[in-house]
C-alpha cells in the first residue's frame, strides 16, 4: 500500500525553513558591501560631526563661540585623533578661527549663505513639513509621539528649527501639545482629528505606476555584483506575495504564531519604508528610527530588518554610527529626486570636501 501523498508546506512555514537566521554582527561581517553607499558615508562622516558644531554656533548670540567652550564638547562626543583645533582647521571653507586670543570659532560667509538657503527652503516648505509630521503621527498606533523623539529627527524630516511654534502651534486643527504623564518635563504631540486624512504610502504610489500586478510587492535593488542563490530568489518571491497591513492602517492584535510573525515583519518593513520616504535625504541613523519602534507597534529588532532586506535598505557602519539608506531613492550616490533642502546640504558637504584646497580663491559665488 502506497503512503498517502504529503501535503505541501504552508507558505509561512516555507519562509521560516528557508531563512538562515544569523546574528547581526555575523551578517555585517559577511555581507556584500555596496561601495557606492560606503563611499557616500565616507564623505559624510566629517560632515555629520560638523553639524552639531554648526548648530551650537548658530544658537550663540553673535554666531561666535570660544574655542575653550567647543574643545571639551568635541573631545567627549567625537573620536578626534588630533584634537578639536585640528578638526576645525581642516575645513577652512566652513569654519573661521579668529587669530587673536582668546580663540573664537565662527562660520565662513560661504557656509552662512548655504545654511541661510537651507533655512529659507525649510520655511517655504512649511506645508510639506506639516504633512510629513502629520504622516509620522498617523503611523503611530495611538496617533501620539513624544516631542523629544520628533526633535531627534527634525533635520531628517526637513522641519524648520522652530517647528514647535511654526508647525505644531500654527496648526491647532491638526496637532495638539500636552504634558507627558509618564515623564516629567516632557511633552506629547498628538493628532487632533485621526480620521481627517487617508494617506497613500510611497510604496503604493510606486505600485500604481507599474504595468503589472504588484499588489503587495516592494521595489528591490540589490547591490551590484551580488549573486542571488536560487533558494534565496524563491524566498524573496514568496515574501513579496504575502499580504500585510499598511503603515497607516489599523494593526490587528499581534499573535505568537509563526505566520503572524512573518506578517508583522512585512508590516514593519512597510512602516520603515514609509518613514524613510518622509525624510529629506532618504537616510537616517538606526538609533533614531529605533526610538519610534514601540509607538509604531514594531515588535522586531529594527536593525535586523535592514540586514534581512538588502534589496530595500542598505545599512552602513561607517564613522562609528549605523546609518540606513532607502536603496530605491539613490542612483550613483545621489538622490534621484532631489529637493531644495537636500541640494543645500549637498553644497555644504561639497564645501567641506574642499578641505584646504582653493584657499584664497574661493568666493561665495563658487
In a domain, 355, yes or no: no
Q: Could you give the number of structural domains in the chain?
A: 2
| Mean pLDDT in order along the chain per 10 residues (366 residues) | 45 42 45 86 90 90 86 73 82 90 91 95 92 96 94 95 93 92 86 82 94 91 85 91 90 65 90 97 95 92 90 88 94 95 96 78 37
Question: Are both 145 and 243 inside the same structural domain?
Answer: yes
* Per-residue confidence (pLDDT) for residue 224, from 0 to 100: 80
* Per-residue confidence (pLDDT) for residue 119, from 0 to 100: 93
In a domain, 7, yes or no: no
Query: pTM of the predicted model, to two decimals?
Result: 0.86
Question: Are both 198 and 104 inside the same structural domain?
Answer: no
Question: Are both 106 and 234 inside the same structural domain?
Answer: no
How many whole angstroms separate alpha carbon 106 and alpha carbon 51? 13
* Per-residue confidence (pLDDT) for residue 79, from 0 to 100: 66
In a domain, 8, yes or no: no
In a domain, 315, yes or no: yes
Q: Where in the sequence is the domain holding 258, given as residue range(s)?
A: 13-34+121-344
* Per-residue confidence (pLDDT) for residue 364, from 0 to 100: 37
* Per-residue confidence (pLDDT) for residue 181, from 0 to 100: 82
Amino acid at each position: 500500500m502506497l503512503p498517502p501523498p504529503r501535503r505541501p508546506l504552508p507558505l509561512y512555514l516555507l519562509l521560516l525553513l528557508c531563512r538562515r537566521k544569523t546574528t547581526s554582527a555575523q551578517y555585517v561581517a559577511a555581507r556584500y558591501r555596496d561601495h557606492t553607499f560606503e563611499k557616500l558615508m565616507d564623505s559624510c562622516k566629517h560632515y555629520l560631526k560638523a553639524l552639531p558644531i554648526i548648530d551650537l554656533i548658530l544658537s550663540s548670540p553673535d554666531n561666535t563661540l570660544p574655542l575653550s567652550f567647543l574643545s571639551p564638547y568635541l573631545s567627549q562626543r567625537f573620536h578626534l585623533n588630533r584634537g578639536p583645533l585640528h578638526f576645525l582647521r581642516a575645513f577652512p571653507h566652513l569654519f573661521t578661527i579668529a587669530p587673536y586670543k582668546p580663540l573664537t570659532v565662527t562660520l565662513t560667509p560661504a557656509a552662512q549663505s548655504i545654511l541661510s538657503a537651507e533655512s529659507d527652503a525649510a520655511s517655504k516648505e512649511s506645508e510639506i513639513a506639516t504633512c510629513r509630521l502629520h504622516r509620522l503621527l498617523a503611523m503611530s498606533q495611538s496617533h501620539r509621539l513624544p516631542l523629544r523623539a520628533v526633535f531627534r529627527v527634525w533635520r531628517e524630516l526637513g522641519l524648520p528649527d522652530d517647528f514647535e511654534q511654526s508647525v505644531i502651534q500654527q496648526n491647532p486643527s491638526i496637532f495638539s501639545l500636552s504634558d507627558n504623564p509618564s515623564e516629567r518635563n516632557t511633552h506629547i504631540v498628538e493628532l487632533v482629528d485621526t480620521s481627517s486624512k487617508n494617506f497613500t504610502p510611497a510604496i503604493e504610489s510606486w505600485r500604481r505606476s507599474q504595468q503589472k500586478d504588484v499588489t503587495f510587492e516592494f521595489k528591490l535593488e540589490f547591490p551590484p555584483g551580488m549573486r542571488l542563490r536560487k533558494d534565496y530568489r524563491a524566498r524573496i518571491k514568496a515574501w513579496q506575495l504575502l499580504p500585510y497591513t499598511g503603515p497607516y492602517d489599523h494593526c490587528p492584535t499581534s499573535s505568537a504564531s509563526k505566520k503572524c510573525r512573518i506578517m508583522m515583519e512585512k508590516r514593519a518593513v512597510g512602516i520603515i519604508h514609509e518613514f524613510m520616504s518622509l525624510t529629506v535625504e532618504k537616510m537616517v541613523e538606526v538609533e533614531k528610527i529605533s526610538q519610534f519602534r514601540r509607538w509604531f507597534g514594531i515588535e522586531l529588532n529594527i536593525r535586523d530588518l535592514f540586514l534581512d532586506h538588502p534589496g530595500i535598505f542598505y545599512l552602513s557602519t561607517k564613522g562609528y554610527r549605523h546609518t540606513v539608506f532607502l536603496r530605491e531613492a539613490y542612483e550613483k550616490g545621489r538622490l534621484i529626486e532631489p529637493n531644495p533642502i537636500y541640494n543645500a546640504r549637498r553644497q555644504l558637504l561639497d564645501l567641506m570636501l574642499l578641505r584646504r584646497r582653493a584657499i584664497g580663491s574661493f568666493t561665495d559665488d563658487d
